Amino acid sequence: MSVTERDLLIIVTVFILSISLFLIPCDAFRHKPKIDTIYQFGDSLSDTGNLIHEKPTGADLPIAHYPYGETFFRKPTGRSCDGRLIIDYFAQALGLPLLNPYLVKSDFKHGVNFAVSGATALNTSFLSNRGISQLYTNSSLEVQLEWFKTRLQSRAKKRLDRALFIVGAIGGNDYSFATIANKTAKETMELVPLVIQKHKEIIGKLIDLGATRVVVPGDLPSGCSPSFLTSGVTNDTSAYDEYGCLISGNKFSAYHSGLLQRALAELRTTYPHAVILYADLYTTFLNLIKNADNLGFGKENMLKACCGTGGAYNFDFPRLCGTVGLPVHVCPNPDMRVSWDGIHLTQKAYSLMAESLIRDLFPKLM
């Protein structure tokens, strides 16, 4: 190698080194987390403690009592689960602390959870005009949006470009309360487009306020839930699918989720600058059932609640899990069940679903 060649090599090396030194701070900046805040709206699939802090009855509800929380928090937190929910796994995957519930005024530096168990997508006045009464809370999606606006005003920095918004799942209570109010299947079905319209309206308002990343979960297949299986039990074997789920319930959930996806496509056209993603709870849940064996779920108890009182699906309304005064019936290993209390899922089920959703959605958010 000639001197000039070596000199050239040194010059080039020094040049490359200085460029990389120059790039380090830049690069570090680029890898700063793009999401540092989460705002969650919804119902008991995502509530981390709001409903049990609503007066006057929240603290008396079953979810405020043992064995809720037994697996992870070792005490009831207001989550409708034995442990963590999908939103908890999302926060952890982003390196953020678990989201604090809005009604427990505390640290909201990394976001707020506005979800309330029992909340409906449609508002109180609208539902009560149709003879449907709210059973647990009046904190519908619109109320949760107002809470968010209040929260936004009290923030010094109002930019939302590092915030992730999760709107839902919500709507399941609108349908359940309609059924409890003896509405016909047709009347309940007619609520679906209204529930989806409400999603659209709220998401639009959030984007107008500055949201740029929105994840919107659809419905779980309700025909596989012990509560639905119990109320809809029939001797007609053709009413069930190969996994033992009621086809009518799953069809209903698929209808909701299909209309929701169509609404999201419309929103993407209206707001091309925003990332609006559909979170497919329906398929993700069915994958748990299909792969039960590999995932460690007990196949014979696949559709049975872990915590509950009797019946073919270990679910008996109103003898719900956590009801004060009833003996506690809880399965020895919740990790082997998909359903925790007949309505909500176990931590194990949520963790597996979250894993799959994170793999699917997070790359599109960064």
> For residue 184, which amino acid is it?
T
Binders in 170-189 for ligand NAG, by CB under 6 A: 181-182
* Residue 294 interacts with ligand NAG (CB under 6 A): yes or no: no
| Cα distances (Å, whole numbers) of residue 49 to 1, 52, 151, 323, 333 | 71, 6, 17, 17, 24
Q: Which is nearer to ligand NAG, 196 or 305 (CB)?
A: 196
Q: How far is the CB of 44 from ligand NAG (least distance, A)?
A: 14
Q: Which is nearer to ligand NAG, 179 or 356 (CB)?
A: 179
* Residue 291 interacts with ligand NAG (CB under 6 A): yes or no: no
Tokens of residue 260, six digits? 């929701």
Binders in 121-140 for ligand NAG, by CB under 6 A: 123-126, 134, 136-138
Q: Which is nearer to ligand NAG, 201 or 360 (CB)?
A: 201
Q: Which is nearer to ligand NAG, 87 or 121 (CB)?
A: 121
Longest dimension (CA), the chain: 93
CA-nearest of 127, 114, 132 to 46 is 114
Determine phi and psi for 87, rounding to 5 degrees.
-60, -35
Q: How far is the CB of 61 from ligand NAG (least distance, A)?
A: 11
Q: How far is the CB of 118 from ligand NAG (least distance, A)?
A: 8
Give the residue numbers annotated as catalytic, written as ranges: 44, 341, 344
The number of residues that bind ligand NAG (CB under 6 A) is 15
* DSSP-derived secondary structure letter, 296: T
Q: Which is nearer to ligand NAG, 225 or 284 (CB)?
A: 225
Q: How far is the CB of 237 from ligand NAG (least distance, A)?
A: 11
| Cα distances (Å, whole numbers) of residue 140 to 1, 59, 87, 122, 273 | 77, 19, 19, 6, 28
Residue 282 CA, chain-centre distance (Å), reads 12
119-127, 250-258, 276-284, 344-352 -> range binding ligand NAG (CB under 6 A)? 119-127
Place of tokens 């604090």: 100
The whole-angstrom separation of Cα 80 and Cα 59 is 13
Q: How far is the CB of 129 from ligand NAG (least distance, A)?
A: 9
Binders in 223-242 for ligand NAG, by CB under 6 A: 233-235
CA-nearest of 362, 363, 350 to 46 is 350
Q: Round to the nearest angstrom and report the end-to-end CA distance of the chain.
A: 47
Binders in 141-160 for ligand NAG, by CB under 6 A: 142
Which positions lie near ligand NAG, rule CB under 6 A?
123-126, 134, 136-138, 142, 181-182, 198, 233-235
